[in-house]
């Protein structure tokens, strides 16, 4: 009985420590250099409908449906999706555009869980080419931060960003 209490007590202490110490804030990003002029790249990435051509999400989902509200490329435009269990349901709204510098959206996940995250695309001149940085940032609520800590979400997102940016590069350079 004493051993069970020690194990249980240790588990509770570990959970409390993880609850308090696992990171709440996150920012994940990847980058690519595209052999095209910055204005051309920015014009393309600042329209959410164009993500259909390069985003890694939805490639394998034959049942994915999308809908749109507003004028694409303008603050307030909303792109919504509904897909498989893996993709879930949500929407992405353009919240800030700094022409030829940055493009920011708010992602609102509805299913399989409710969450909000910010997505950003930043561009920089790199000689005649353009460097694109794509990332997410946000805050995890407790105790979700514990599960994300163990699932390695940052590494998974980085891989997805690398796939998407590779597709973007291929599409724009074709």
The answer to whether the beta carbons of residues 123 and 38 sit under 8 Å apart is yes
Query: What residue has token string 């910055």?
Result: 38
Give all domains of the chain, ordered by start, each with its CATH number: 25-173 (3.30.530.20)
Average of per-residue pLDDT values in the chain: 90
Choose the weakest-confidence range: 18-22, 33-37, 103-107: 18-22
Q: In what order do the strands lie in the sheet with 129-139?
A: 25-34, 129-139, 115-126, 102-111, 89-98, 78-82, 65-69
Query: Tens digit of pLDDT for each residue in 143-166?
Result: 777 776 777 777 888 899 999 999
More confident residue, 143 or 90: 90
The C-alpha atoms of residue 93 and residue 108 are separated, in whole angstroms, by: 8
What pLDDT does 50 receive? 97
What pLDDT does 10 receive? 86
Mean pLDDT, rounded, for 81-89:
89
What confidence tier does 98 reach under pLDDT thresholds 50, 70, 90?
Answer: very high
Angle between helices 38-45 and 153-173 (to 10 degrees): 120
Strand pairing class (25-34; 129-139):
antiparallel
What pLDDT does 103 receive? 98
Mean pLDDT, rounded, for 133-151:
78
Per-state percent for the chain, helix, strand, coil, to nearest 5 = 35, 35, 30
More confident residue, 27 or 105: 105
Query: Tens digit of pLDDT for each residue in 21-68?
Result: 666 777 889 999 999 999 999 999 999 999 999 999 877 788 899 999
Mean pLDDT, rounded, for 123-127:
96
Query: Tens digit of pLDDT for each residue in 60-83?
Result: 788 899 999 999 999 999 999 999
């Amino acid at each position: 009985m004493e051993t069970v209490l020690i194990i249980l007590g240790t588990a509770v202490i570990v959970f409390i420590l993880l609850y308090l110490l696992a990171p709440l804030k996150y920012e994940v990003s990847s980058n690519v250099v595209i052999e095209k002029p910055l204005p051309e790249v920015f014009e393309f990435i600042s329209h959410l409908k164009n993500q259909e051509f390069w985003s890694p999400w939805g490639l394998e989902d034959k049942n994915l449906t999308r809908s749109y509200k507003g004028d694409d490329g303008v603050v307030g435009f909303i792109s919504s999706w509904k897909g498989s269990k893996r993709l879930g349901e949500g929407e992405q709204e353009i919240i800030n555009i700094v022409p030829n510098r940055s493009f920011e959206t708010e992602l609102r996940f509805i299913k399989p869980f409710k969450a909000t995250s910010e997505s950003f695309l930043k561009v920089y001149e790199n000689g005649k080419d353009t460097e694109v940085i794509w990332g997410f940032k946000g805050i995890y609520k407790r105790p979700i931060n514990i599960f994300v800590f163990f699932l390695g979400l940052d590494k998974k997102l980085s891989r997805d960003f690398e796939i998407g940016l590779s597709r973007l590069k291929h599409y724009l350079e074709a």
